[in-house]
Structure 1
Amino acid sequence: MNSARTDVVVIGAGQAGLSAAYHLQRRGLDYVVLDAESGPGGAWRHRWKSLRMETVNGISDLPGIAKPAVNPREPSSEFLTRYFGGYEEELGLAVQRPVKVTSVSREDDDPDGRLVVSTSRGDWTARAVINATGTWTRPFWPLYPGQSTFRGRQLHVADYVSADEFTGRHVTVVGGGISAVGLLDEISRVTTTSWFTRREPVWREEEFDAKAGHDAVALVEERVRRGLPPQSGVSVTGLIWTPTLRSAAARGVLDRKPMFTSIEPHGVRLADGGFLPADVLLWATGFRPEIEHLAPLHLRGPGGGILMDGTQVAQEPRVHLVGYGPSSSTIGANLAGRAAVSAILKLPGIDPTAAPAIWG
């Protein structure tokens, strides 16, 4: 197998990875971006076609090149794949794909030494690693009694394609976030639905203000600072009443039920002891960070998360997580990419004038 040396390996070419690559290139560092996808766009490549630009949360411009004019009716998967691809090409970013990173480990016991990034296309060694793998490939499936006995279909939003496949089947949606209510609205136009959440959703009349956004980020920052797994800030920001969702509420679609207690072959057992038949269980229950390839570094603490100092792993300053925790928003990912590169420039052995890496 081939191997190569470089200053920095960026893992992932979504918003966070491209932001990091932009700042690495500007600062003259030798780097490579390894992306497991077959083309540009990151996780947006896999979003369902009905998720259009008019309904996605605000997407920040990548650094250096603003988004082109947006057609609000265009599927987000198409628009953002085109934007990201054009961005890579115009800036000549060093993106290689498809390359699957299988592990990141230490070359030796020297804390100022190099890291080994093992991939489907050989090994790289680097002074630092910027992990920007996001969450899309790790959907979270909660476990409930009787789940394996269900005879209908179970799927996560990561597997969702179109509401049309559920016509004539009762769909139970589980989850209290934006994806849950958006898909409830969509699916309820072709069939019957029910909605379950663990907590009563908090609704807001208008877009959340700067304070609410800051509070949400602070909540996640506090968790990662304590070495706990990051969680969504939606409980702070709440769900926004859009005209579409008001229409769904008027149709009775957003009639939230307390979480069921168990799953049976043909439906779910309700909290009050009743039974609700169901043909499909759609889990809109979020995602977890894709960081299993970092396991050889033993970064997780007793709380199950990774103790962070900004974008830097507290116990391993050669590793930065961008698009993780408080930087999981698009604007947060941009800021994190710049912060990570600034910190990496202070590491021993980093030389902004180094020649480009060459395969050996």
Structure 2
Amino acid sequence: MGMQIDADESIGESEYGDGVQLLAPDGRRRDHPDYPLRVTAEQCRALYRDMVLTRRLDAEAVLLQRQGELGMWIPSLGQEAAQIGSARAARPGDHVFPAYREHGVALCRGVEPATLMGLFRGVNHGGWDPATHGFHLYTIVIGSQVLHATGYAMGLRKRGTEGAVLAYFGDGAASQGDVNEAFNFAAVFDAPVVFFCQNNQWAISEPNERQTRVPIYQRAAGYGFPSVRVDGNDVLACLAVTASALERARGGGGPTLVEAVTYRMGPHTTADDPSRYRRPEEVELWARRDPIERLRRLLVAEAYAGDDFFAEVRRDADELTAGLRVAVRGMPDPSPEAIFAHAYAEPHPLVQEHAAAALAAIGADA
């Protein structure tokens, strides 16, 4: 079952090739007995558009950072299928907990890209309302959002509220205590949560072999809940697997761990130089598995889209990035007191005292 990698494409870890796959690298559809998926031409076009816009958004942010307009950026190049496929499986009533690289998921949940970039420009603490979008704020502390997501899901179950939780994390975060504690709590309390691990092969400069001796998805068995590995460069497989796991969670079946095997094509952040720790031939191998090109081949082969559609998507991406440049460069600096404004939901006397002292020290008005 699942993705098969030719012997000449092997990069030294056989478990890369045993995930659920519905779309082969050459664009051919494949059936899977456990994850049937019917998608229309319109749905395939929409998935393609989402992935292209995500990639262009990401590329523009990297350029803006290099030009000094953003303090930092965390690229998502190569992970578009894992993000878009899983995000489009979620319903409006579900709640999503991202880490810090889920730019495609943010786009699917209706977060404005310029608002997202405000966090990396340093003018806001996130800038969007998690309740409005069903999308929590980015979490820089590695793995902590998975524990938060589990607690939220436990609350949903206790109140009998419909909906499920989708929690994103990376292969490196899987080594964190918070993630493993979350697995245990979710299992014991049958929390309606789907743990979605984007295994992009590198935890900053540490490879998978330094993180685990078994495939990450197999860890769920030790906690007593099911798991599945999926080809993370196959947007259709990510959609089908995540939709199935979320439906199980909504129906009271408890948690599921999904491991999406993908690859971080760029640096860990714009402060990173991946050429210092990984081989060029490894990057070239994964470039041949490009998730956007894979879906494009399906669109062409099935006559789902033609030149006019692809030109339209390029225009949409050009418009998005042009607007982003203007919006980011035009963001006003926050006032000095803004850092204190949202420490608590209501005014707090201790915060007010600290704010007054800080503002007095810099000669600003409270």
TM-score range, shorter chain: under 0.3
More helix by share: 2
TM-score under structure 1 normalisation? 0.24
TM-score under structure 2 normalisation? 0.24
More strand by share: 1
